[in-house]
Structure 1
Amino acid sequence: MTKWRRAVVCGALAVVLAPAALPAGAAEASLADRLVRDVTVDQVHRHLIAFQRIADRTGGNRAAHTAGYEQSLDYIAERLRSAGFEVGTPSFTWDRVAVDAAAVSAGAVRAAPTQLGNSPNTPAGGVSGTLVVPPVDATPGCEAADYAGLELRGGVALVRRGSCTFTQKQVVAADLGAVAVLVYNNVNGPGLGQINPASARIPSAGLTAAEGAALSAVAGTSATVDIRNHIEPTTSRYVVAQTATGRTDNVVLAGSQVDSTDIGPGINDTGTGAAVLLELALKLGARPKVGNAVRFAFWGAEGSNTAAGAYLRSLSFEEQLDIALYLNSNSLASTNAGYFVYDGDNSAGYGRMPYGSAQIERVFAGYLNGRGIPTEDTNFDRAWDHTQFITAGIPTGGLYAGSHFAKTPAQVAKWGGTAGVSFDPCHQQRCDHLGNVDRTALDRNADALAHVTGTYATSTEDVNGVPPRAQRAAARSAVTKITAAESR
């Protein structure tokens, strides 16, 4: 090829491949808009009804080691198959934390604590000591001075959550000779959290605000804390399905948790994410006109044990390269809802993210903002499904309506609701049932996930530089025509 011909070919390709060559973004708008229209809150809610009924007939929950979880997976898999998807249900083994004891007693008060992550176990039968309750100040239980005038040696510390980490409260109590520490919540909801394993010295557990108030009323009495668990290897399944159309080397992967805790049916956390994802898959269909294949995954288990990690470990590096990006969603219909988007550009200081995550954040936030819904950055919980993808370097984004953290007055001004109350007052409790769903938040977040999935099913160019199918076809056609002309 002469230099002149080469210049003509390169110039033609540059024109074809330039973003301005796209037909006004019509393809993106068409698929994204169709999905937003077709994924309705009524159909999503129908899946939530199914999850509730499954929980009700299987002991009240859908935890990953129970029949409720297995039946939830079967429900999802059957509907995907009926829509034409080829569905896989791989098994994985994970380390389940099995609870052996969870009890606190003091006087006539009884409570069921949640053992903090990495906390040492008590001996069988528990540990006992005087219940010591320091005054609630700006730093409750965070400093030795908080216990001034109180004898904590050999006692059980009861402190309010807030101001410092669970680890610090535990260290302060241990340094003063406590045999256990109990941290009660500063908002409605269970006392969830963990302590640094390197600093874990005495048994530590969380309580609800109501339990903390009841125990505080009997300060000075003898208390017994019995919290014990063990690790039990457990085998479960997860569900994966992919469209039969679109590029299989540039896949859009969308995933959500399915399982609940042992406590309740888990309708907001995690049912809403799974229900939206299922309805999105059904409305997209198994053979849509897409540039990139779309893969749907429904996970079980949590933290480093999650099925998402097992799934990624089952893939070679080349197979991981086939995943263009990962979209995660959880707790999409909190009753005191906020509108959070995963911080892809680290503007909130949550930590570095793989390249392309900032672009995903902009598309999520842009859609919601365009509907007059302001958003905030979140890291959600960096010990969850999406963490596995972040660690693997895969661009990641997602949605979240809030859980056990309290809504601030500034957030109330932005979104409405009640300040000082958890986004989801029933987070991981028995009351996380069908009555714990905000349909407005569910509808808005379903629309946002549908829009973003439809956008990236058409083109991931802003995330990883892979141009849309129509643009690539035009480029090939231009080269063919120039080559043909040159040969004449």
Structure 2
Amino acid sequence: MRSGLFAAMSVLVVVVLTACGGGAAPPAAPASPAAQAPQPPDPGLPAALAQQVSGDGAFVHLQQLQGIADRNGGNRASGSPGHEQSVDYVADQARRAGFQVETPTVPFDFFSAGAQSLAVAGAPVPNVVALTYSKPTPPGGVTAPLVVLPEAPADPTPACDAADFPPTTRGAIVVARRGVCPFAQKQRVAAEAGAAAMVVVNTEAGPLNGTVGSVAESRIPTAGLSRADGDPLFGRGGVPATLVLETRAESRTTRNVIAQTTTGRPDEVVMAGAHLDSVPEGPGINDDGSGSAALLETALRLGGAPRITNAVRFAWWGAEEEGLVGSTAYVAGLDPERKRDIAMLLNFDMVASPNAGYLAYDGDDSDRQGAPAGPPGSDAIERRMLAALGQVGVQGEGTDFDGRSDYGPFIEAGIPAGGLFTGAEEVKTPEQAARWGGAAGQAFDPNYHSPRDDLANLDRVALDRNTRAIASVVGGYALDLGGPDGVPPRAARQPR
């Protein structure tokens, strides 16, 4: 799962897609007239599928992904052999199950960071993280006084406009609160004001990881700090500081895996996705091996030619951790008719967090948090997801469409979206701990984006519950897109 707002993640990618726009190819012509006779949809499919899948089945795939990471430097990051082997594993499994499978290639800007440090008046500040695509500092770092932008609780856009930066910004290291505008915008405006570097302090608890957009958009060295580590800086304007960011960016390629059933209407597609890449820092077994494995378990149990009404298209995205690259490229490669073919996007990013929550994306914005409601139909998907969690014995709640995962480009294209999530670096509240168990006041996944995101740090119960809920929802929509929890019919869709 990417950190930061989706608007802050725009990436410049050259999309290398297949002739059919990057999606699954149309079903091949049947070999004989007998093969043309459609099988009637199976009304018992959703319940049977939910019964057949299991967390244990998904865990088998997670063992394979862990083994791939272990053989490849401890990670499965896009552009690395570990990700390529993960793609081959998933694609081979889907082909064996009878799906039509493609692995379209997408170029992207790869980013890595070495030394990252900040010292203020000679005292180190802990947990400094270079924002993705940040410019490197010169050898030895940038040494300059801190210019601290004042905090205004009523202003949600600090460091977003030229007027926010005083004349003393020139040549300084700017310290600013995160706020809501994209990191790319913050560092661009700071650079135009003459800042030598920038440090962004999180508004919420937990570390700040994000992106300045792309290599092309990067202007100055830019780092992030947690609220706890960064708050003391707001009283230290004018104090000399040294920021060191050793970063490197280069062009690489990644692949998506797209697998579609050979049955069901190809103009009423139920699409379900998870990202297959990890961060370079770890194997990514929860983020998002868990969503990828639950999706693969569902796909294999469904099979490539199920008795369904609507085609099902599974996607395992590449380079999500580099800024939603794979899913963004996929949507960009679809013409209006192909976008209209997609009835919905179901997204599953982190479904086995060790201090798990049970969260469904807030399609109707009933929680009144952050982003607005999703496109029409997203509210129905949320209801279906919460009902599926109830069927496996747990009461879910909403979570904001904050743009941090691969539903983002689909929502931007006007495609209804929803999904399940067990939480990342956000802290579990006492009320959530009372409802779901686990530890209040601690992160849903304390191993987020770290080497400890491995097989030993999963909630197997959450994995099983979410896998069964995923199967139930996918199977239900494969049979029928209508009803009280339905989505708009194709004729009513107006993709952007």
Q: TM-score w.r.t. structure 2 length?
A: 0.74
Contact 2:117 2:124 survives alignment (8 Å): no
After superposition, what is the alpha-carbon deviation per residue over 1:123-152, rounded to whole angstroms, capped at 9, x for unaligned? 343112578999x9x99xx999xxxxxx99
Cα distance in structure 2, aligned partners of 1:82 and 1:343: 36
Contact 1:58 1:68 survives alignment (8 Å): yes
1:44-193 alignment to 2 at 5 Å? 44-99=58-113, 102-104=116-118, 113-116=128-131, 121-128=136-143, 180-181=198-199, 183=201, 190-193=207-210
Contact 1:156 1:182 survives alignment (8 Å): no
Cα distance in structure 2, aligned partners of 1:213 and 1:55: 36
Cα distance in structure 1, aligned partners of 2:253 and 2:319: 10
After superposition, what is the alpha-carbon deviation per residue over 1:146-198, rounded to whole angstroms, capped at 9, x for unaligned? xxxxx999886889x889989799999x99x996536479756x43246799x
1:399 matched to 2:423? The reply is: no
Contact 2:259 2:313 survives alignment (8 Å): yes
Cα distance in structure 2, aligned partners of 1:201 and 1:416: 45
Counterpart code for 2:55? V
Cα distance in structure 1, aligned partners of 2:458 and 2:106: 31
Contact 1:185 1:206 survives alignment (8 Å): no
Cα distance in structure 2, aligned partners of 1:288 and 1:416: 37
Q: How far apart are 1:354 and its partner, in Å?
A: 1.6
Report the CA distance shift for 1:133/1:451 in structure 2 as closer, same or farther (over 3 A). same
Contact 1:179 1:202 survives alignment (8 Å): yes
Q: How far apart are 1:116 and its partner, in Å?
A: 3.1
Q: Share of identical aligned residues, percent?
A: 44
After superposition, what is the alpha-carbon deviation per residue over 1:439-485, rounded to whole angstroms, capped at 9, x for unaligned? 11111111111100000110112213479xxxxxxxxxxxxxxxxxx
1:157-306 alignment to 2 at 5 Å? 180-181=198-199, 183=201, 190-193=207-210, 203-207=221-225, 223-227=241-245, 229=247, 231-302=249-320, 305-306=324-325
Q: How far apart are 1:288 and its partner, in Å?
A: 0.9
Bigger mean CA deviation after superposition, 388-397 or 369-378: 369-378
Q: Name the residue aligned to 1:464.
A: 488
Q: Name the residue aligned to 1:432.
A: 453
Counterpart code for 1:388? P
Cα distance in structure 1, aligned partners of 2:330 and 2:444: 31
Q: How far apart are 1:339 and its partner, in Å?
A: 1.1
Counterpart code for 2:394? I
Report the CA distance shift for 1:178/1:229 in structure 2 as closer, same or farther (over 3 A). closer
The gaps in structure 1 that reach 5 residues or longer are: 1-25, 145-150, 468-488
After superposition, what is the alpha-carbon deviation per residue over 1:198-232, rounded to whole angstroms, capped at 9, x for unaligned? x999744224689779999xx99975311254553
Q: Name the residue aligned to 2:443.
A: 422
After superposition, what is the alpha-carbon deviation per residue over 1:248-307, rounded to whole angstroms, capped at 9, x for unaligned? 111111111000011100110010000001111100011111111111111011365521
Bigger mean CA deviation after superposition, 109-118 or 359-368: 109-118
Report the CA distance shift for 1:169/1:465 in structure 2 as closer, same or farther (over 3 A). closer
Q: Name the residue aligned to 2:56.
A: 42
SS in 1 for 2:83: helix
Q: Name the residue aligned to 1:22.
A: none
Contact 2:111 2:247 survives alignment (8 Å): yes
SS in 2 for 1:248: strand
After superposition, what is the alpha-carbon deviation per residue over 1:411-435, rounded to whole angstroms, capped at 9, x for unaligned? 2222222222111111111111112
Q: Name the residue aligned to 2:347.
A: 328
Report the CA distance shift for 1:81/1:401 in structure 2 as closer, same or farther (over 3 A). same
Counterpart code for 1:115? A
Q: How far apart are 1:343 and its partner, in Å?
A: 1.4
Q: Name the residue aligned to 1:343.
A: 362
Counterpart code for 2:128? P
Answer 1 or 2: which has greater helix percent: 1
1:365 matched to 2:386? The reply is: yes
Report the CA distance shift for 1:263/1:196 in structure 2 as closer, same or farther (over 3 A). closer
Q: Name the residue aligned to 1:445.
A: 466
Contact 2:433 2:439 survives alignment (8 Å): yes
Cα distance in structure 1, aligned partners of 2:205 and 2:440: 10
Cα distance in structure 1, aligned partners of 2:490 and 2:148: 60
Q: Name the residue aligned to 2:46.
A: 32
Cα distance in structure 2, aligned partners of 1:466 and 1:380: 24
SS in 2 for 1:435: coil
Cα distance in structure 2, aligned partners of 1:119 and 1:94: 15
Cα distance in structure 2, aligned partners of 1:98 and 1:323: 35
Report the CA distance shift for 1:162/1:75 in structure 2 as closer, same or farther (over 3 A). same
Counterpart code for 1:362? R
SS in 2 for 1:457: helix
- Number of matched residues? 431
Report the CA distance shift for 1:368/1:95 in structure 2 as closer, same or farther (over 3 A). same
Counterpart code for 2:141? G
**What is the Cα-based RMSD across aligned positions, in Å?**
4.2
Contact 1:331 1:400 survives alignment (8 Å): yes
SS in 2 for 1:373: coil
Q: How far apart are 1:104 and its partner, in Å?
A: 3.6
Contact 1:268 1:433 survives alignment (8 Å): yes
SS in 1 for 2:272: strand
Q: How far apart are 1:102 and its partner, in Å?
A: 2.7
Report the CA distance shift for 1:278/1:179 in structure 2 as closer, same or farther (over 3 A). closer
Contact 2:197 2:222 survives alignment (8 Å): no
Q: How far apart are 1:358 and its partner, in Å?
A: 1.2
Q: Greater Rg, structure 1 or structure 2? A: 1
